[in-house]
A and B are shown apart, each in its own frame.
Chain A
């Protein structure tokens, strides 16, 4: 049903990004998200379409391509969904909201179940009436629609871009309300968001951070370095001692790779350990993440498959000749942390409990985009 990729303008850029994603040359949620938006902007700006469905089909196709290229980078799919969502809104407000006009005659029970009481619908009608409308599928000039719409669409995409670019500031803008003086914070891994969060808190508060070194990647080392450079008193501890230390910790702050619809999250390996330890000591667990990490996926196979397995060489050197043949070395890259272990998500718009992540996702994305 969707158009073939190679017919889409700017598919070259798509392919390149897809290849980069596959080869892990673009890594990190935000990185991937940004790249995706840029590609999408390019695609939309060059796309030829005479009604909104065509455009959406195109974007979906691109999105599918990218998401398939690297299913482990959920933010790619999220960004596409986000863009689709925004574009629909813009288009609906630009053209007459089709649902409102048509709702009367096609109003059925199932619609009623889905959309609730009709009043909600009709409420939106007058608003859309007010705006000057664009004619879709204009026979004599098929491009008129695109021409009229593109500026707004660009706006919409730009919004997504802006959000991504300011995400760190927004997440950490009220960090000082979460971290109090003389607290001991434990964190793991090197999440840019958490880093920004802690640093901004450091302007107002004087507190201590314990960084778990996060083997085998040891990204904790970098984290500790950059924090101490920011003048925060920092401890670096081996992952194995997390549980023991937890009794002294006031808060555990985790970064996230992706936040799942059920309020669980996928985070760097070791997070589960930290979160569980925190629960055992009933220490609050705070997760800092931008909303672009909200993923309309469920904890499918969260023990395997959905998680990423890096190469074993960081665990066992390849030069360990004979050993390599005898043992299977496994190096999981992410943990799945269930919603019951998390107290609050601090996102770039407001703080949310795990239970309301579901609602957030409903608001952020359109249901029919969940499957790209």
Chain B
């Protein structure tokens, strides 16, 4: 946390009636509207004859926002001009609008947020929206809730507004959506998983701990992401800290929720009434227009509160005609339902307009047919033209009899010759007049440039243009995006096939939206009550089917990929950590600095916390100079080192002494000569209060500590054993009195005695462990379902909670290792454990869900043991709310992973009654 944010936090909790600020990201950081957005920012595209920006302002004004910052990048001065000329700049509106031009290098919302941070404009909780929002949700209400939450919980940094709607809702983006895991009571967003339309997602991974910690979770795939976020002041600073956050949802939210470094919570506001949606792509442009025309956005409707200030008259069947009789409709023209006709437009004889929006001052030629067409201002549609499901820019001229089939985008000023027949999904823009135009408006220079470069590449393939465009046309045909265009450099959301799902008039029925798994879908689809052409819902039916069976292959495949990537990441990470620590030790940095450095490193190559710990512990151990013979001297050395650097172990984020001990054990066991140091190190840590007795005990219980799961590499096992015994001994002594440890380690070689003691220790342990398990269950089981046994009382809670933390860690750990050194997964290894200490494995499932969710890299472990597969695109609201109680969670885990089976049973044993 940078200090600023915290101070800011104080501030906004303190004063209540401060101005409500809003930030509009007026730049869509993608090209989905090309070529309509050539020479014009997206937020100035009209929808229902008012620019998107106006709709956004209106939505915010509705919420009583007093100060709005408009972050604009491309065509900034156009945006500024638009704001200046709009009614909003009038003082009487009581809204202060500040356009902020960001650097051209701003390529993602994340960059914009960092910009906001550097501008230091945010003084309190603020509303973050995109420049293409249409909403009548009472945002002020959301803000109120947010602030209330903040008063109790300072870590609630963000509230996302989402709108319930079926998974297949027209207004819901098919291309980019997300699965939300909510706590229905607190409406906290526990987990967020971005979902792409293509390649079709079949599973989401929900960290098992969520299911453990929350007796009831909702897993929703039926939300429209309104991209209205009420953020706290520290949000921009978070972006600042995590320079790799690009997108707000898939990077920021996902990052925050999965990270165990920044303990922040994100909440959702499920807008029950009210409407909110963003025009993120041409498809949603179509949908939102329709929603506006059919008055879902009331009172933001053309005849009541039109942001553009036009006044329309609402006629039977949702037809909107300007109040001033400026429109001239010929007697024989047909105006269908859900149609909006702008002022001063002329519709000639026998023209028929249906479910379309016509701009101002347009001319619709005789006999023209418009269906789901969106036509901007000053456009002429020639006689007998046919336009279907397309968007046509302003000042366009369509010659006689031009056919514009589904999905075409025609940019401003295009002229299309007589009788031209466009192909579906044609994208057409005007030829550049002269490439000199980048001079005249300086600030847009580089916009123009990249545009120019774009246009150049467009100009390359114009071979078929004349045929398509008819004669005397001034237009360029854009390349029809194809799967083999450069995918690697643009991120997969902008992948052609995914974009298709966000394209107007494209039902993508031909698109192969099924993976190997979903070959079954075709038949499950029929019986799944939610059969539709919809990609997600289709795959969902598949997964919901496979849920009951086993989810082996898809998860396995993904996990494999993860492992590879992570393996690479980790090796390089190790070396880097080693170096940085080396520096730290050498130059004697403060522990804090060292810690910060490690953190950044860790985030750079996103690896689980455990790796860091290993590295640190390892480094410290290696730091200790070996003093052969003289035990006392040796002890001093160790003490010195640990005193100096021990704290670092807990500074790296997340304190987990048990893990520490375990790591120490493994490290010593591995490092031959330094094995002897284990005991002393342990003691030193103990003295430094880095670990306490319970931790050691817990460690001692863990199967990992006894070297389970490490078959290959006998030496290691041997070493582990030794260390374990030592630990046992130490424990025993701690049990009686901790003074005599001094002479203990001098005679540490005599194994038999130690063994005997260890046995004893182990025995007593196992009992106390029994309790601790129940205890642990009790403590985890927030559900009243299980009557709490009496013996939970004194010893249990303290002892229980920590060990349960430890074990799963070790477990998932050993699995991921075994994964890497592709031995058959943990199942066999965990087998021998079963007979040896029956009661001990029992806690495993109960504990397993607690395992800190390793971000993607550790997903190997996750998918194997700590994963529950959840249908993506589950049917609309009721169906998709998977109420997961504690008991099932362990069951699901058993389904999720082969080896979990007996855990599953044991899980039932305890979770069942």
Q: Chain A interface (Cβ within 8 Å of chain B)?
A: 6, 11-12, 15-16, 19, 22-24, 68, 70, 72, 303-305, 309-313, 318-322, 324-325, 328-331
Chain B 860-879, CB-CB to A under 8 Å as 1, else 0, gives 00000000000000001100
CA distance A16 to B304 in the complex (A): 16
A313 touches B169 (CB 8 A): no
Enumerate chain B residues within 8 angstroms of A303, measured Cβ to Cβ. Answer: 316
CA distance A327 to B290 in the complex (A): 12
Given A11, A22, A328, which contacts B337 in the complex, CB threshold below 8 Å? Answer: A328
Enumerate chain A residues within 8 angstroms of B92, measured Cβ to Cβ. Answer: 6, 11-12, 15-16
A318 touches B165 (CB 8 A): yes
B305 touches A22 (CB 8 A): yes
Closest A residue, CB atoms, query B62: A23
B164 touches A312 (CB 8 A): no
Q: How far is the CB of B454 from the nearest CB of chain A, in Å?
A: 34
Chain B 334-362, CB-CB to A under 8 Å as 1, else 0, gives 00011000000000000000000000000
Enumerate chain B residues within 8 angstroms of A319, measured Cβ to Cβ. Answer: 164-166, 169, 222, 876-877
B304 touches A328 (CB 8 A): no
Is B442 interfacial (CB 8 A cutoff)?
Answer: no
Given A322-B532, A328-B317; A312-B61 close (CB under 8 Å): no
A311 touches B166 (CB 8 A): no
Q: Which of A22, A68, A319 has the most CB of B within 10 A?
A: A319
Is B163 interfacial (CB 8 A cutoff)?
Answer: yes
B296 touches A321 (CB 8 A): no
Number of residues of chain B lying within 8 A (CB) of chain A: 42
14 contacts between A and B (CB under 8 A): A15-B90, A16-B94, A22-B299, A24-B304, A305-B314, A309-B295, A311-B275, A318-B164, A321-B166, A321-B170, A321-B222, A322-B169, A324-B169, A330-B318
A329 touches B294 (CB 8 A): yes
Enumerate chain B residues within 8 angstroms of A305, measured Cβ to Cβ. Answer: 313-315
A68 touches B311 (CB 8 A): yes
Given A12, A311, A324, which contacts B297 in the complex, CB threshold below 8 Å? Answer: A311
B298 touches A310 (CB 8 A): yes
Enumerate chain A residues within 8 angstroms of B305, measured Cβ to Cβ. Answer: 22-24
Is B620 interfacial (CB 8 A cutoff)?
Answer: no
CA distance A331 to B532 in the complex (A): 29
Enumerate chain B residues within 8 angstroms of A19, measured Cβ to Cβ. Answer: 61, 93
- Nearest 7 CB-CB pairings of A with B: A321-B166, A311-B298, A15-B92, A321-B169, A319-B164, A24-B299, A22-B305
Is B705 interfacial (CB 8 A cutoff)?
Answer: no
Enumerate chain A residues within 8 angstroms of B165, measured Cβ to Cβ. Answer: 318-319, 321
Q: How far is the CB of B308 from the nearest CB of chain A, in Å?
A: 13
CA distance A23 to B139 in the complex (A): 14
Q: Which of B273, B298, B311 has the most CB of A within 10 A?
A: B298
Q: A12-B91, A319-B165 are in contact. List 10 more A-B contacts (CB 8 A).
A: A12-B92, A15-B92, A22-B304, A23-B62, A70-B304, A309-B314, A313-B273, A319-B222, A322-B532, A329-B294
A325 touches B170 (CB 8 A): yes
A328 touches B318 (CB 8 A): yes
B61 touches A23 (CB 8 A): yes
Q: How far is the CB of B334 from the nearest CB of chain A, in Å?
A: 17
Is B717 interfacial (CB 8 A cutoff)?
Answer: no
Given A322-B532, A324-B169; A312-B294 close (CB under 8 Å): yes
Enumerate chain B residues within 8 angstroms of A325, measured Cβ to Cβ. Answer: 170, 290
Q: How far is the CB of B1 from the nearest CB of chain A, in Å?
A: 39
CA distance A342 to B321 in the complex (A): 33
Given A15-B92, A22-B305, A313-B273; A322-B337 close (CB under 8 Å): no
Is B504 interfacial (CB 8 A cutoff)?
Answer: no
Enumerate chain A residues within 8 angstroms of B163, measured Cβ to Cβ. Answer: 318
Given A23-B61, A321-B166, A321-B169; A312-B314 close (CB under 8 Å): no
Given A16, A72, A304, A311, which contacts B316 in the complex, CB threshold below 8 Å? Answer: A304
CA distance A324 to B288 in the complex (A): 12
Q: How far is the CB of A18 from the nearest CB of chain B, in Å?
A: 9
B275 touches A23 (CB 8 A): no
A312 touches B295 (CB 8 A): yes
Closest A residue, CB atoms, query B58: A23
Given B136, B295, B314, which contacts A304 in the complex, CB threshold below 8 Å? Answer: B314
CA distance A329 to B317 in the complex (A): 10
Q: How far is the CB of B584 from the nearest CB of chain A, in Å?
A: 55
Q: How far is the CB of B28 from the nearest CB of chain A, in Å?
A: 24
Enumerate B94-124 residues with CB–CB distance to A below 8 Å. 94
Q: How far is the CB of B323 from the nearest CB of chain A, in Å?
A: 9
Closest A residue, CB atoms, query B94: A16
Closest A residue, CB atoms, query B90: A15
Closest A residue, CB atoms, query B168: A321
Is B396 interfacial (CB 8 A cutoff)?
Answer: no
Chain B 285-315, CB-CB to A under 8 Å as 1, else 0, gives 0000010001111110100110000010111
Is B167 interfacial (CB 8 A cutoff)?
Answer: yes
Q: How far is the CB of A199 from the nearest CB of chain B, in Å?
A: 30
Given A16-B92, A318-B275, A321-B170; A304-B315 close (CB under 8 Å): yes
CA distance A311 to B297 in the complex (A): 7
Q: How far is the CB of A50 from the nearest CB of chain B, in Å?
A: 26
Enumerate chain A residues within 8 angstroms of B296, measured Cβ to Cβ. Answer: 311-313, 318, 324
CA distance A259 to B299 in the complex (A): 24
CA distance A16 to B66 in the complex (A): 13
CA distance A121 to B93 in the complex (A): 47
Given A319-B165, A321-B170; A15-B93 close (CB under 8 Å): yes
CA distance A325 to B172 in the complex (A): 12
Q: How far is the CB of B241 from the nearest CB of chain A, in Å?
A: 37
CA distance A63 to B222 in the complex (A): 46
B304 touches A322 (CB 8 A): no
Closest A residue, CB atoms, query B287: A325
Enumerate chain A residues within 8 angstroms of B314, measured Cβ to Cβ. Answer: 304-305, 309
CA distance A371 to B254 in the complex (A): 59
Chain B 155-171, CB-CB to A under 8 Å as 1, else 0, gives 00000000111111110
Q: How far is the CB of B811 from the nearest CB of chain A, in Å?
A: 41
Enumerate chain A residues within 8 angstroms of B317, measured Cβ to Cβ. Answer: 328
Enumerate chain B residues within 8 angstroms of A329, measured Cβ to Cβ. Answer: 294
Enumerate chain B residues within 8 angstroms of A324, measured Cβ to Cβ. Answer: 169-170, 296
Q: How far is the CB of B416 from the nearest CB of chain A, in Å?
A: 30
Closest B residue, CB atoms, query A325: B170
Given A12, A15, A24, A328, which contacts B338 in the complex, CB threshold below 8 Å? Answer: A328
Enumerate chain A residues within 8 angstroms of B297, measured Cβ to Cβ. Answer: 311
Q: Which of A15, A303, A310, A311 has the most CB of B within 10 A?
A: A311
Enumerate chain A residues within 8 angstroms of B167, measured Cβ to Cβ. Answer: 321
CA distance A31 to B338 in the complex (A): 33
CA distance A297 to B93 in the complex (A): 31
Closest A residue, CB atoms, query B338: A328
CA distance A322 to B167 in the complex (A): 9
CA distance A70 to B163 in the complex (A): 28
Enumerate chain A residues within 8 angstroms of B166, measured Cβ to Cβ. Answer: 319-322
Closest A residue, CB atoms, query B273: A313
Enumerate B405-434 residues with CB–CB distance to A below 8 Å. none
CA distance A331 to B296 in the complex (A): 10
Closest B residue, CB atoms, query A322: B168
CA distance A215 to B164 in the complex (A): 22
Enumerate chain A residues within 8 angstroms of B532, measured Cβ to Cβ. Answer: 322
Enumerate chain A residues within 8 angstroms of B164, measured Cβ to Cβ. Answer: 318-319
Enumerate chain B residues within 8 angstroms of A310, measured Cβ to Cβ. Answer: 295, 298
Enumerate B59-103 residues with CB–CB distance to A below 8 Å. 61-62, 90-94
Q: How far is the CB of B908 from the nearest CB of chain A, in Å?
A: 35
CA distance A16 to B316 in the complex (A): 31
Enumerate chain A residues within 8 angstroms of B313, measured Cβ to Cβ. Answer: 305
Enumerate B434-471 residues with CB–CB distance to A below 8 Å. none
Enumerate chain A residues within 8 angstroms of B299, measured Cβ to Cβ. Answer: 22-24, 311
CA distance A19 to B91 in the complex (A): 13
Enumerate chain A residues within 8 angstroms of B62, measured Cβ to Cβ. Answer: 23
Enumerate chain A residues within 8 angstroms of B275, measured Cβ to Cβ. Answer: 311, 313, 318
CA distance A309 to B295 in the complex (A): 8
Enumerate chain B residues within 8 angstroms of A68, measured Cβ to Cβ. Answer: 311
CA distance A311 to B93 in the complex (A): 25
